[in-house]
Amino acid sequence: DLKVSKLLDGEDEEIPEEEAVCRICLCDLGEEGKTLKLECSCKWKLALAHEECALKWFGIRGNRECDVCGQEVVNLPVTLVRLQQNQNNINAETQIPWCSSRIWHDVPVLVMISMLTYFCLLEQLLGPRALMLALPFAVMFGMLTAITASTLVRRRCMWLFAIFQVGFVIRFAHVFYSWMKLNPILSISLAGFAGFGLSMIVNALLLECWSCRTRAARQEDASQDIV
């Protein structure tokens, strides 16, 4: 019988002709085209395919991951790799405007909800007579909350950041007005500075902690690769 000899794991293995078929089109490897041995974790006949079939198959999939073993095929032609990189760049470029548009669609809703929340809480704190005082501060604080939440944090954390910011401002307003008995205008102004400042400081500290953990993890991975 005609044998197909392949070098696998440092040893010569002979595959019978009837078993030497392309794993993609299931046709005999000797019939047409150039044979390509996929350099992944697949062994024996599972690693054999027509080069043209492999180009079409992985081009349709859009990546170099083997669908059998799950490992990356490292010996695919350069043209396929370049096509995949160009496709990834195009997807990233089209995704950025979509994400930014989604964020700016959420900002008006966040502004309205923040204004309403500030107005209700300030009116409850200052009393119904301070309606004309609570309204302008609610508008100003609501806009500032939406601006800082949409620019300082990611979209998935935007509402959580706004909730904590509103809580800080109202808590400081309660402390300055109810406990320290300060003037209402002074109390709300100081509460705004303290609440917004504290929320930004906490956000900066969390980002710094996250970046430190990321750098430490990368250094650990690099040291393990060296070893």
Which of 64-73, 79-88, 93-102 reaches the highest mean pLDDT?
Answer: 64-73
Write down the pLDDT at residue 2: 38
Q: Is the pLDDT of residue 213 over 90?
A: no
Mean pLDDT of the chain: 76
Q: Is the pLDDT of residue 61 over 80?
A: no
| Pairwise pLDDT comparison (6 vs 47), residue with the higher score | 47
Q: Which CATH number fits domain 3-76: 3.40.630.10, 3.30.40.10, 3.40.50.300, 3.40.1360.10?
A: 3.30.40.10
Q: If DSSP states are collapsed to H, E and C, what string results for the chain?
A: CCEEEEEECCEEEEEECCCCECCCCCCECCCCCCEEECCCCCCHHHHEEEHHHHHHHHHHHCCCECCCCCCECCCCCHHHHHHHHHHHHHHHHHHHHHHHHHHHHHHHHHHHHHHHHHHHHHHHHHCHHHHHHHHHHHHHHHHHHHHHHHHHCCHHHHHHHHHHHHHHHHHHHHHHHHHCCCCHHHHHHHHHHHHHHHHHHHHHHHHHHHHHHHHHHHHHHHHHHHC
How do residues 145-197 score in pLDDT, each as one tens digit?
Answer: 999 988 888 878 888 999 999 999 999 999 999 999 898 899 999 999 999 99
| Pairwise pLDDT comparison (172 vs 49), residue with the higher score | 172
| Pairwise pLDDT comparison (19 vs 174), residue with the higher score | 174
Write down the pLDDT at residue 221: 66
How do residues 110-158 score in pLDDT, each as one tens digit?
Answer: 899 999 999 999 888 888 777 888 899 999 999 999 999 888 888 788 8
Cα separation values, 87 from 97, 99, 100, 138, Å:
17, 18, 21, 47
Dist. CA 18–CA 27, nearest whole Å: 10
| Pairwise pLDDT comparison (115 vs 226), residue with the higher score | 115
Domain extent listing, the chain: 3-76, 99-226
Length of the chain equals: 227
Write down the pLDDT at residue 87: 56
Asked which of 38-52, 61-75, 81-95 is least confident by mean pLDDT, the reply is 81-95
Write down the pLDDT at residue 138: 93
Percent of the chain with pLDDT over 90: 26
